[in-house]
């Protein structure tokens, strides 16, 4: 019996996810520049030609990985998207960021390695400047509404703190007290 359009689409999505999973592991472990399309296709058990049916280039594959990796985090910030962050929304965001650090450890290894590769990070710089700018502006307004004497610096400090937590957690996830740190951040900064 011939496959339906839905079955073909499901097969395509499964194969695309397989490629992305392999690429994520390789990029995180070996680095973006050291990972070739040939290696990705070999580890995914597909031909290079088939890989190019799913992604135009290695850069296209990396962009898709990074976009997907940040989607949950970005969606969890200011959940109702009204531009005003409540204490409950801020707590939700912190909880989500910490959950994602645990559940997507390989992605965060990739993310931090990309930040340290300026030539690669340039691909994402403009997009994430917009996203981070929106988050920072909303956080600044949150701290301004709480009566902070320097809301911009407070927002930057929280962003830096979250980056630092993530970086330290990926270096030593077994020993890093992620849950205790999360509680402290919520108590002190929300």
Cα–Cα distance measured from residue 8 to residue 148, given in angstroms and rounded to the nearest whole number = 55
DSSP string of 72-93? HHHHTSSTT-SS---HHHHHHH
Confidence of residue 116 (pLDDT cuts 50, 70, 90): confident
Structural domain range at position 39:
5-55
Q: What local confidence, expressed as pLDDT, does residue 21 receive?
A: 95
Confidence of residue 73 (pLDDT cuts 50, 70, 90): confident
- Residue 80 sits in the same domain as residue 32: no
pLDDT of 156 above 80:
yes
- Residue 80 sits in the same domain as residue 134: yes
Query: What pTM did the predictor assign?
Result: 0.83
- Residue 143 sits in the same domain as residue 181: yes
- Residue 150 sits in the same domain as residue 119: yes
Cα–Cα distance measured from residue 96 to residue 84, given in angstroms and rounded to the nearest whole number = 18
- Residue 93 sits in the same domain as residue 29: no
Residue at token pair 């917009």: 130
- Residue 23 sits in the same domain as residue 68: no
Q: Using the 3D structure, point to which of 13, 37, 55 is the last residue of a domain.
A: 55
Average pLDDT for the chain: 90
Q: Using the 3D structure, point to which of 16, 31, 55 is the last residue of a domain.
A: 55
- Residue 102 sits in the same domain as residue 14: no
Q: Using the 3D structure, point to which of 22, 40, 55 is the last residue of a domain.
A: 55
- For the chain, what is the domain count? 2
Cα–Cα distance measured from residue 84 to residue 125, given in angstroms and rounded to the nearest whole number = 25
- Residue 78 sits in the same domain as residue 46: no
What phi, psi does 173 have (nearest 5°)? -60, -30
Q: What local confidence, expressed as pLDDT, does residue 25 receive?
A: 95
Cα dihedral: 33, 38, 39, 44 (round 10): 130
- Residue 21 sits in the same domain as residue 72: no
Are residues 37 and 56 in contact, defined by beta-carbon separation less than 8 angstroms? no
- Residue 76 sits in the same domain as residue 51: no
Confidence of residue 185 (pLDDT cuts 50, 70, 90): very high
CATH label of the domain that carries residue 34: 1.10.10.60
- Residue 165 sits in the same domain as residue 82: yes
Are residues 173 and 105 in contact, defined by beta-carbon separation less than 8 angstroms? yes
Q: What is the 3-state secondary structure (H, E, C) of 24-51?
A: HHHHHHHCCCCCCHHHHHHHCCCCHHHH
Rg, the chain, Cα only = 19
CATH label of the domain that carries residue 71: 1.10.357
Are residues 99 and 169 in contact, defined by beta-carbon separation less than 8 angstroms? no
pLDDT of 16 above 90:
yes
- Residue 105 sits in the same domain as residue 139: yes
């Amino acid at each position: 019996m011939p496959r339906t359009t839905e079955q073909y689409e499901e097969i395509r999505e499964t194969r695309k996810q397989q490629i992305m999973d392999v690429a994520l592991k390789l990029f995180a472990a070996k680095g973006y520049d050291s990972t070739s399309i040939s290696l990705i296709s070999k580890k995914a058990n597909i031909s290079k030609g088939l890989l190019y049916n799913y992604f135009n280039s290695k850069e296209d594959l990396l962009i898709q990985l990074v976009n997907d990796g940040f989607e949950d985090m970005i969606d969890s910030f200011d959940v109702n998207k009204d531009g005003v962050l409540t204490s409950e929304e801020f707590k939700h965001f912190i909880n989500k960021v910490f959950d994602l650090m645990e559940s997507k450890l390989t992605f965060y290894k990739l993310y931090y390695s990309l930040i340290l590769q300026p030539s690669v990070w340039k691909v994402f710089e403009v997009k994430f400047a917009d996203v981070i700018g929106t988050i920072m502006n909303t956080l600044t307004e949150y701290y301004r509404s709480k009566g902070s004497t320097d809301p911009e610096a407070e927002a930057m400090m929280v962003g830096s703190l979250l980056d630092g937590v993530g970086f330290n957690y990926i270096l030593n996830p077994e020993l890093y007290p992620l849950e205790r740190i999360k509680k402290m951040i919520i108590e002190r900064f929300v």
